[in-house]
A and B are shown apart, each in its own frame.
Chain A
Amino acid sequence: AQKITQTQPGMFVQEKEAVTLDCTYDTSDQSYGLFWYKQPSSGEMIFLIYQGSYDEQNATEGRYSLNFQKARKSANLVISASQLGDSAMYFCAMREGQNQGGKLIFGQGTELSVKP
């Protein structure tokens, strides 16, 4: 069965440093998509970045990049130059297969705390 695993319940990073949040996934499909969302304390989910299973290059969006290692089934989020406003919960999610359409499966999340 499809599954998303985030093994880091909490992470700390110093302001202006880079941090990597881990995500591994399990799927038997060849076509799938991977998403990262940020959830601040207000509760709203904010889309950060997307990686398709057939994309040859790692996705990047500003300070966010996705380290996609298909053979290892990992899709780690890298945040460069951390800011205090980056403190939040971060969720990795997967859309599996074309027929599953928009259905997303979420991991348990990682709580990131940025220290000044």
Chain B
Amino acid sequence: DGGITQSPKYLFRKEGQNVTLSCEQNLNHDAMYWYRQDPGQGLRLIYYSQIVNDFQKGDIAEGYSVSREKKESFPLTVTSAQKNPTAFYLCASSMDWGGSGREQFFGPGTRLTVL
């Protein structure tokens, strides 16, 4: 089945540690996205990638980094510079960057807790 996988489902981190969240898609989509969701809030865009080997900052990129070396993979690193990293992280992909009606397909999410 085609879809998006995220791992791990739950992640615990000590303060000062960097952690990497995995996102893999087998939908052959060009565009991929990372969102952060805080309790009772909507999603906010962290980073996005229109195509392999390219990525751009979203609205809340500080303290995060990404790479896009392969079309199917878009890992997110939460660095120690992120002051409040405890949140639910969602990865998404869409067929391409432009065009109308290009809905994004989401993975199951990773819940990160800083101890």
Contacts and interface: CB of A to CB of B under 8 A. Distances in A.
A104 B100 contact: no
Interface in A44-85: 44-47, 50, 52
A37 B35 CA distance: 14
B102 A91 contact: no
B75 interface: no
Interface in A86-106: 91, 93, 95, 98, 101-104, 106
A33 B101 contact: yes
A44 to B, nearest CB: 5
Nearest to A50: B101
A8 to B, nearest CB: 13
A43 B92 CA distance: 13
B42 A103 contact: no
Interface residues of A, number: 24
B92 A109 contact: no
Interface stretch (B11-19, B43-51, B78-86): B43-51
Interface of B: 31, 33, 40-45, 48, 50, 58, 88, 90, 92, 94, 96-98, 100-109, 111
Given A42-B108, A93-B42, 15 more contacts: A35-B103, A43-B88, A43-B90, A43-B111, A45-B92, A50-B101, A52-B101, A101-B31, A101-B50, A102-B48, A102-B50, A103-B58, A106-B44, A108-B40, A108-B42
23 contacts: A33-B100, A43-B88, A43-B90, A43-B108, A43-B109, A44-B107, A45-B43, A45-B92, A47-B105, A50-B103, A91-B42, A93-B42, A101-B31, A101-B97, A102-B31, A102-B94, A102-B97, A104-B33, A104-B104, A106-B43, A106-B44, A107-B42, A109-B42
